[in-house]
Structure 1
Amino acid sequence: MILPVFLGDCSCPPLNELEVGQVGSLNGAEARHAIGSQRLGSGDVLDLVDGKGLRLRCKITASGKDYFEFQVQQRLHLPLPRTQFGLIQALSKGGRDEQAVESAVELGVSIVRPWAAKRSIVQWKGTKLQRGQKKWEALLKAAAKQSRRANWPQLEPLTDSVTLTEIIAAGGSDQRFILLDPDASVPLAKAWEQVSQAKMIHLIVGPEGGVSAEETTQFIAAGAITARLGPTVLRSSSAGPAAIAALGLTSGLWNREESL
């Protein structure tokens, strides 16, 4: 049964303290969305999640304009997959970066990091930095809810290429980085063989103008590997999600019997 998902925020009791049979209430924006937009009411069943893997299946027992009361019917804790994926997405024009992030979250990515690449036309500077960060936070939240995730992705701060090089160098064996490059000689399937033992695999996607030769050299020197997706060149909006979908099947993410 596909049920709507809502975040158990600070307006309700801590979800990790609620057991089957116990009751609670949710107030504010999440409740208004459930009652007003989703048209849910007494007797309807929904999922409350904490964004950290806990999912409570609840039945609404009473409701008002901006609140509802519920009783816990089932309690599930969903572990993270053995191999997780991160998306380092270059800022891109035309909202293509946001399209990539939204799809990546729906596909199961665990970490998202905005990247001000050398060739990024869009720049988060001054007041745009805070606005951009908040917009992406809202985007991640909406995509996680839409895809019914219990484990929500983490948004990292904006990074430039110098800092990204340092992050790659500090990754170690548990974190590996794949720079998606249409000129790479190694296909993604072969690159997977080099990183399959890592706990976190970060996919680096450049802007529409591509990643500069200088950035590529720096990233490889720091420990990243390059890989191409296939016979065609994908746009910045689709490269990351396509890679996550392909590796999701290879890694076993798509073979899980439970949801994220």
Structure 2
Amino acid sequence: MQRYFVDTVEKDMDHFIISGENARHISKVMRMTAGEEIIVVHDNVAYVCEIIELDQDVRVKKTGTTIPSPEMPVQVDIACGLPKGDKLELIAQKATELGMHALIPFAAERSIVKWDDKKAKKNQERLQKISQEAAEQSHRTYVPDVVQPISFKQLVQTFSNYDAVYIADEEDAKLANRTTFKQKLQSLNKENTPRILCIFGPEGGISRHESAVFLEAGAQTMSLGPRILRAETAPLYALSAISYEFE
């Protein structure tokens, strides 16, 4: 059954209006007709709906059936030092499938890529669209928020919003007596929904200066095993480990 995220609900709260690309997809691509059912996600709840009218917009009505949420019992934000090429697109797509709550690109000391204001807005919009499509494909009820790149200092200022902040430091992977990521996750209070920030560097990793500042601000290192992972692989590894521990 096709799934669409919508923002517009009618006053009776039983009908939704689907517009734009989603409406065109329903009528022109899928060639659906009145009476067929789709899943509409509004305000993080998935409803089974019946198509009532198809025109420039599509009007649907709730059938009374909702679908259980597949969201993780933990909010995981992923902060990535700006990498080269299309790696951030891969992270946005796959991390959304794995349960990411938000994607926060930041200008790391070792980031070769630089985004000006015009490029930042355009890239952010593209990444947000990729994330929404991945959320629909993976049957999520929440679309991760992809923010415009922030500075290293701005990232540190967000630490107070989280129950735990972890950094992926490749130097930690070389230690024989490192504390495993599993042990650190098990120490979190699972009664409430923990908020976690995981920070990853670009190609070349997190600099020694960045690591020192992060740790002084309250972050902890997370060991992702003894192998050195690529910039686009490490966030997916971490999300998989968190999912295994919490789900």
TM-score by length of 1: 0.82
Whichever residue aligns with residue 2 of structure 2, its letter is P
- 1:78 Cα shift? 4.2
| Worse-matched range after superposition: 101-110 or 215-224 | 101-110
The amino acid across from 1:235 in the alignment is R
Gaps of 5+ in 1: 253-260
Choose from 33, 38, 49 the match for 2:30.
38
Q: Match for 1:177: what amino acid? A: V
Q: Mapping of 1:1-260 within 5 angstroms?
A: 3-10=1-8, 13=10, 17-19=12-14, 23-50=15-42, 52-64=43-55, 66-76=56-66, 78=69, 81-168=72-159, 170-171=160-161, 174-184=162-172, 185-197=178-190, 199-252=194-247
Q: Is the 8 A contact 2:70 2:141 kept in 1?
A: no
Structure 1: which 4+ aligned runs deviate by more than 6 Å? Answer: none
Q: Matched residues in 1 for 2:151 and 2:133: separation? A: 26
2:180 partner letter: P
1: CA distance between counterparts of 2:7 and 2:155?
A: 32
Identity of aligned residues (%): 25
Alpha-carbon distance in structure 2 between the residues aligned to 1:116 and 1:222 = 18
Within 1, Cα distance between the matches of 2:225 and 2:31?
44
Return the alpha-carbon distance in structure 1 between the equivalents of residues 54 and 20 of structure 2. Answer: 12
1:257 aligned partner = none
Provide closer, same or farther for how the CA distance between residues 161 and 69 of structure 1 changes in structure 2, counting only shifts above 3 A: closer
Number of corresponding residues: 239
Contact 1:83/1:199, CA 8 A, preserved across alignment: yes
Question: Bigger shift: 106-115 or 138-147?
Answer: 138-147
Deviations 1:60-119 (A, max 9, x none): 24434x433323113437496542111112211121122112111111111221111111
Mind listing any 5+ residue stretches in structure 2 that lack a counterpart?
A: 173-177
How far apart are the structure 2 equivalents of 1:27 and 1:112? 26
User: Residue type matched to 1:187 in 2?
Assistant: T
Amino acid in structure 2 at the alignment position of 1:175: D
Query: 1:217, 1:24 → 2: CA distance?
Result: 50
Contact preservation (8 Å) 1:90, 1:116: yes
Task: State how far apart, in whole Å, the 2-side matches of 1:126 and 1:70 are.
Answer: 39
Checking the alignment, whether the CA contact within 8 Å between 2:170 and 2:205 is kept in structure 1 is: no
Report the 3-state secondary structure (helix = DSSP H, G, I; strand = E; otherwise coil) of the residue aligned with 2:143.
Answer: coil
Output the aligned Cα RMSD. 2.3
SS at the partner of 2:235?
helix
